[in-house]
Amino acid sequence: MVSPDNFQLPEQLSTGAAEVDDLYMFVYWFSVIFTAVIVAVMLYCIVKFRRRPGVKAEPVGHNLVLELVWTFGPVIFIAILFHLGFKVYVHNAVAAENAMEIRVRGRQWLWEFEYPNGTRENNELTIPLNQPVKFILSSDDVIHSFYVPGARWKRDAVPGMYTNISFTPTKLGNMQVFCAEYCGTSHSGMLAMIHVVTPEDFQKHLDSADKAPEGKKPEEWGAELYKKNACNTCHSIDGSKMPGPTWKGLWGKTESLADGSTVVVDENYVKESILKPQAKIAAGFTTAQMPPFTLKDAQIDAIIAYMKTLK
Ligand code: CUA
């Protein structure tokens, strides 16, 4: 959201965001003032020293004072900018001692979050207000980039190494996450949402992460999980062609596999395909792109209930 005190910039949702914006505005006004001064001097010289009939230009000699000023002036200014930028960077790059560690795994095409207690969620993360959080980023396949505009943070998730970012959320509500590094077909759909809640609600969320929301039928929860776990980035529900088989009419069907055999789409096949997608690959889908999903039985049952409704 644009607010009048930090025009053009998204709403500040973390401790570091204000520091980054202040630095940005400092550089911005610094540049505006210097541009104005340089243009003014230039215009003055254009008019004052323009060619006039009968006036001969005289060569200008060495001027030690001027040369010292335009050499060391900018050096000092740039040293100040570097100092301010480095200070903000270091302050935000180093996680607080009591930071909660969240593992973030990027893969084509979703963000997997793992809480300190081992609970995992895809594309949604819930964190407590005013609690420093350290995000430890990695990638299972290609380079992704974890971008949280509300926290003014963007860092690549690179296969084969860990990178990290940290911030403290300062407002209840949602923080949008984007993937900011082109990573294939569904790059633009690689979105996640961080929910900032009170510490009590955070505890409640952790306790109920693997259970069906109250009052929801299994197939309704399954429809939610289909989106939440980003199944929808590779599997359509209306028969349209996507990187993975469509779910429309999939349940109960006899599926041909890449190795020439067939399998009936039942509970066991669906469960295996979610937990170990490489075990049986459907014919025509030779590049097995699907990553393994760590879902609980209750969640898989809900997805199956949803699949059954897609006739
Ligand atoms: Cu992941 Cu773009």
- pLDDT (tens digit, 9 = 90+) per residue, 104-154? 999 888 899 999 888 888 888 999 999 999 999 999 889 999 999 999 999
Tell me the average pLDDT across 7-23.
Answer: 85
Ligand 1 centroid from CA 106, angstroms: 8
Is 1 a residue whose pLDDT tops 50?
A: no
Higher pLDDT: 21 or 61? It is: 21
User: Which is the closest atom of ligand 1 to the Cα of 108?
Assistant: 1
Asked if the peptide bond before residue 247 counts as cis, ω within 30 degrees of 0, the response is no
User: Is residue 45 predicted with pLDDT exceeding 60?
Assistant: yes
**What DSSP string runs through 263-275?**
EE-SHHHHHHHHH
- What ligand 1 atom has the least distance to the C-alpha of 182? 2
Do the Cβ atoms of 179 and 145 come closer than 8 Å?
Answer: yes
In the chain, alpha helices (H) = 15-48, 64-93, 199-208, 218-228, 267-275, 297-309
Q: What is the ipTM of this complex?
A: 0.97
Element (H, E) at 214: none
pLDDT confidence band for 158 (50 / 70 / 90): very high
Lowest mean pLDDT among 39-48, 130-139, 184-193: 184-193
DSSP assignment string, 78-119: HHHHHHHHHHHHHHHHSPPTTPEEEEEEEETTEEEEE-TTS-
* Least reliable range by pLDDT among 191-195, 221-225, 265-269, 286-290: 286-290
Which atom of ligand 1 is least distant from the CA of 181? Answer: 2
Instruction: Report which of residues 27 and 286 the model is more confident about.
Output: 27
| Arithmetic mean of pLDDT over the chain | 87
Distance separating the N- and C-terminal Cα atoms of the chain: 42
Cβ < 6 A, ligand 1 pocket? 106, 109, 144, 179, 181-183, 187, 190
Residue 3 banded pLDDT, cuts 50, 70, 90:
very low
Percent of the chain clearing pLDDT 70 (strictly above): 96
Tens digit of each residue's pLDDT (9 = 90 or more) over 25-37: 888 888 999 999 9
Mean per-residue pLDDT for 189-210?
88
Does residue 251 contact residue 308 with C-beta atoms inside 8 Å?
A: yes
